[in-house]
Amino acid sequence: MKHLLSTTDLSRGDAILILDTAEEMAAVGEREVKKLPALRGRTVVNLFFEDSTRTRISFEAAAKRLSADVINFAAKGSSVSKGESLKDTAQTLEAMSADAVVIRHWASGAPARLASSDWIDAAVINAGDGTHEHPTQALLDAFTLRRHWAALAGTSPGGSDLRGMSVAIVGDVLHSRVARSNLWLLKTLGADVTLVAPPTLLPVGVDSWPCRVNYNLDEVLQSGPDAVMMLRLQGERMNAAFFPSTREYSRRWGFDDARLATLDAAGGRSTVIMHPGPMNRGLEISSAAADSPRSTILAQVRNGVSVRMAVLYLLLSGDSSGEPGRIPTPILQENPA
């Protein structure tokens, strides 16, 4: 595979290879010297047409830990705001010999357009396009879930998938690229997915998606899911009123203190609470829930670096046949603890 555009492109084997490689990268992250020379001399461009905190920093840290040169290119303040097209921007990056372009764009399909063009030869990684997909977020979520699942079973996560795990994805599914990427990847890894949202925040055609739909969060929580993934209400993408009031939304679909207390009172349940960030605290998730021992929110951020290292490594170290490379043991040993 040359690009990472969508989780629908990933077979089970591809996904497991990325997650296993990310485990190896995580081990590097625990050393005193966190750097590998694997991508020395390669150039990774972070091309961001939409705001980002975690994703951009995470890709930057990942590329730097692999010793790549990193160029951060934000559309605001660049010639893009003067109307330069994606094609002109891409050709400029090509002239600078970029090996990988990590692109975030407000238009769904922009990364695929770039990847299928002859404007640039670099590997294209989708870091979020409109309401379409955010594959590395789904991969880091799967990595986090796999560690949780393996810890419950008392095994190590390597080589395993998420078969038997139940995951509820809750909130603004309509505008969420995180929900879409997660749904496809979770299915590929064998998890059982339930979407929970007001009917107005579910996309047309959701009936044909490989998941269950439920409008009642309490009912889903009672069923004891292994993970509850809360989604941000994407105000910036809303052009109409999708629910009566934020108070009402929070009461019916927010993970609030009362729901946390109910879950805790159920005893024994190991349900984890996830959120991709940025959070609207007090709206889709309460502070008590976000900061509770069940929350994996900071672990997700931490795991994001390992997963993005794995993706960059596998895409950029492929041989000429396009087959991804394994991390050569000598490279890992070049940088002993």
Distance in angstroms (rounded) separating the CA atoms of residues 309 and 327: 11
DSSP E strands: which ranges in 258-324? 272-274
Nearer to ligand ASP, 38 or 297 (CB): 297
Nearer to ligand ASP, 21 or 234 (CB): 234
Question: In whole angstroms, how close is the CB of 55 to ligand ASP at the nearest point?
Answer: 6
Distance in angstroms (rounded) separating the CA atoms of residues 273 and 276: 10
Cα dihedral 251→255→261→262 (10° resolution)? 80
Nearer to ligand ASP, 232 or 259 (CB): 232
Nearer to ligand ASP, 234 or 296 (CB): 234
Token pair, residue 257, equals 């203190």
Output the CA angle 197-202-203, nearest 5 degrees. 165
147 scored as a contact of ligand ASP (CB under 6 A): no
Member of 132, 177, 180, 187 binding ligand ASP (CB under 6 A): 177
Nearest to 178 by CA among 123, 139, 236, 124: 139
Member of 45, 110, 178, 312 binding ligand ASP (CB under 6 A): 178
Give the residue closest to ligand ASP by C-beta.
Answer: 232
Question: In whole angstroms, how close is the CB of 31 to ligand ASP at the nearest point?
Answer: 28
Question: In whole angstroms, how close is the CB of 172 to ligand ASP at the nearest point?
Answer: 8
Question: In whole angstroms, how close is the CB of 185 to ligand ASP at the nearest point?
Answer: 15
Nearer to ligand ASP, 105 or 177 (CB): 177
Nearer to ligand ASP, 234 or 295 (CB): 234
276 scored as a contact of ligand ASP (CB under 6 A): yes
Output the CA angle 101-234-199, nearest 5 degrees. 125
Member of 134, 147, 180, 187 binding ligand ASP (CB under 6 A): 134
Amino acid of residue 97: S
Q: In the stretch 11-50, what mask flags binding to ligand ASP with x, by CB under 6 A?
A: ----------------------------------------
CA distances from 299 to 148, 273, 277 (A): 11, 11, 12
171 scored as a contact of ligand ASP (CB under 6 A): no
Nearer to ligand ASP, 182 or 286 (CB): 182
Member of 42, 56, 65, 232 binding ligand ASP (CB under 6 A): 232
Cα dihedral 6→8→11→16 (10° resolution)? 60
Nearest to 48 by CA among 110, 103, 109: 103
CA distances from 174 to 20, 112, 133, 166 (A): 31, 21, 12, 21
Distance in angstroms (rounded) separating the CA atoms of residues 127 and 52: 10
Member of 128, 135, 225, 324 binding ligand ASP (CB under 6 A): 128
Question: In whole angstroms, how close is the CB of 277 to ligand ASP at the nearest point?
Answer: 6
Read off the DSSP letter of residue 44: E
Question: In whole angstroms, how close is the CB of 137 to ligand ASP at the nearest point?
Answer: 6
Nearer to ligand ASP, 48 or 209 (CB): 48
Residue 270 near residue 226, CB atoms below 8 Å: yes
Peptide bond between residue 278 and the one before it cis (omega within 30 degrees of 0): yes
Residue 261 near residue 238, CB atoms below 8 Å: no
Nearer to ligand ASP, 42 or 177 (CB): 177
Question: In whole angstroms, how close is the CB of 276 to ligand ASP at the nearest point?
Answer: 4
Give the interface size with ligand ASP as a residue count (CB under 6 A): 8
Residue ranges that bind ligand ASP, judged by CB under 6 A: 128, 134, 177-178, 232, 234, 276-277
